[in-house]
Amino acid sequence: MLKNKRITVTGGKGFLGRHLLKKLNDYGCINIKIADLPEYNLTNITDIQRMYEETKPQIVIHLAAKVGGIGFNQEKPAELFYDNLIMGAQLLHEAYLYNIEKFVALGTICAYPKYTPVPFKEEDIWNGYPEETNAPYGLAKKMMLVQSQAYRQQYGFNSIFLLPVNLYGPGDNFDSSSSHVIPALIKKCFDAIDAHDDKIEVWGTGLATREFFYVEDAAQAIYLATLSYNKSEPVNIGTGSEISIKDLTKLIVKLTGFTGNIVWDKSKPDGQPKRLLDTSKALKEFGFKAKTNLDTGLIKTIEWYRENRHLLK
């Protein structure tokens, strides 16, 4: 059903974008365009309008985002709020004006309240304020959910809102200034091995738990939702399993071959105490269930980094 559609993927040059493009190609989609920097600055309304004129999409999958880990969220909350809010609001509004058939919006696990009952259910998304360090980013992305529902109610515009949990996998962002926890830990281990250091330092207490979603599984979930989900109620996409940061760190240390000690900097924040999704709605609505367990995904990610790290410096 998607093979002959004109599909534009914002953020198509990014981590998730590259995997989604491959997935779409695997399913025979041949009319795919990328809307990303430097060709299009999606915080600029004239660039968005030009993008719609030039790519003429029937379906838009909006992956583009300014994003980073806890440190990046603390350093740049205003940029994270403004850039993500303005991108989402203008892209969706212009999609409506251009009579786009379907707009697929990617939200974030950071949209959930800080103390959401575990596992996170979609109906709990408004029951409190997000964790403080990532609230500007989470709330900015969540405004696409409000917009999606409002535009469907008033205009009958078909847009959907997906809530992915923390992504990881080959091709992830390994920049220490903005990376998330898995690539950051992998890089720390390799750097320590290179430098013959006997320890690595990790933020927080290690007690927080997280759910991690292999990027190829995420691409499959987005494909299936684009194909067959047509409601504005939000849908979680993830694995439905969690691990503590302490256990994750031990696992990455083991898989990378680092033999030194782990030092916990408890002066640094843990972030949200727990993250674990109820993923039953994705299975019910569009038949998605994650296939890649954490060990397998980490091994693939570490091997990719081992083979490509010389290109990232």
- pLDDT higher than 90, residue 180: no
Length of the chain counted residue by residue: 313
Q: What is the pTM of this model?
A: 0.94
Mean pLDDT, rounded, of the chain:
96
Place of tokens 């609230």: 135
Digit-coded pLDDT (tens) for 204-249:
999 999 999 999 999 999 999 999 999 999 999 999 999 999 999 9
Tokens of 272: 């949200």
Mark residue 279 as left, alpha or beta (left: phi above 0; alpha: psi -120 to 50; beta: remaining): alpha
**Residue ranges of domains in the chain:** 6-170+212-240+276-291
Q: How far apart are CA 44 and CA 67, in angstroms?
A: 18
More confident residue, 271 or 31: 31
Active site residues: 137
Pick the CATH number of 6-170+212-240+276-291 from 2.60.40.2310, 3.40.50.300, 3.30.479.10, 3.40.50.720: 3.40.50.720
Provide the pLDDT confidence category of residue 178 given band limits of 50, 70 and 90.
Answer: confident
Quick one: DSSP state of residue 132? G
